[in-house]
Amino acid sequence: MKTLEDFKNGEILLIDKPLHWTSFQAVNKLRWAIRKTFAIKKIKVGHAGTLDPLATGLLVICTGKMTKQINTFQGQEKEYTGTFVLGNTTPSYDLETEIDATYPTDHITDDFIHRTTKKFIGSIEQFPPVFSAIKKDGKRLYEFARAGENVEVKSRKVKISEFEITEIKGLELKFRVVCSKGTYIRSLAHEFGKALDSGAHLSELRRTRIGDFKVEDALSPEDFIATLPLNH
């Protein structure tokens, strides 16, 4: 059973973020539970890498002195699985926004799909989605996007060390990606659709690994809270 001293000295908590939760909500839920359990006013809690609300999977959450390690964990390699849908695009590159364009898909063969993955392996230039939390001129990009303002997005160099399509079900492609910090899987979906002379968007995303931390070892927020002592 963890004590208050454990949390103050620093714990690494592996949490499986539920769908529709923000990473911030997950951190707040845990912070609130720790404060309530031990009847304290303040404790440092932070996460090492945001997951979009429409994504599930591994959040590395640090407490107390371990929050100093957040930057180290953020820089580690990450693994994701999920689904791309071929044939149409959305402004956010995922299901946060409605479909805005439809493209032909009859020319896309399984072989073409598998061959195209090879174009994305290695160091690549990637344009982050306009619907992202990256800051420009003191504002988040999504603030410009939601206001209907055009904004120039600069490309960034990212590294994709593994990218495979694990299953093809009609226009749905199941994938697995291992990539560097700063890689947007939504942008990968968008660019993959273009490389297939079509369009694509991300319909499902799960983070399965950060460095050596694996989602199989993670707890749901509720299961973590259930491990806290009832009496402080």
pLDDT tens profile 215-228: 999 999 999 999 99
Give me the mean pLDDT over the 1-9 stretch.
94
Cβ distance 30 to 180 under 8 Å? no
pLDDT tens profile 52-83: 999 999 999 999 999 999 999 999 999 999 99
H or E element: which one contains 33? Answer: helix 23-38
55-63 vs 200-210, strand pairing mode? parallel
| Residue 7, SS3 per DSSP | helix
Rounded to 5°, the CA angle 228-231-232 comes to 85
pLDDT of residue 136: 75
All domains in the chain, ordered by first residue: 4-75+212-226 (3.30.2350.10), 78-210 (3.30.2350.10)
Q: Which DSSP state fits 20?
A: T
For the annotated catalytic residues, the residue numbers are: 52
pLDDT of residue 232: 45
pLDDT tens profile 8-53: 999 999 999 999 999 999 999 999 999 999 999 999 999 999 999 9
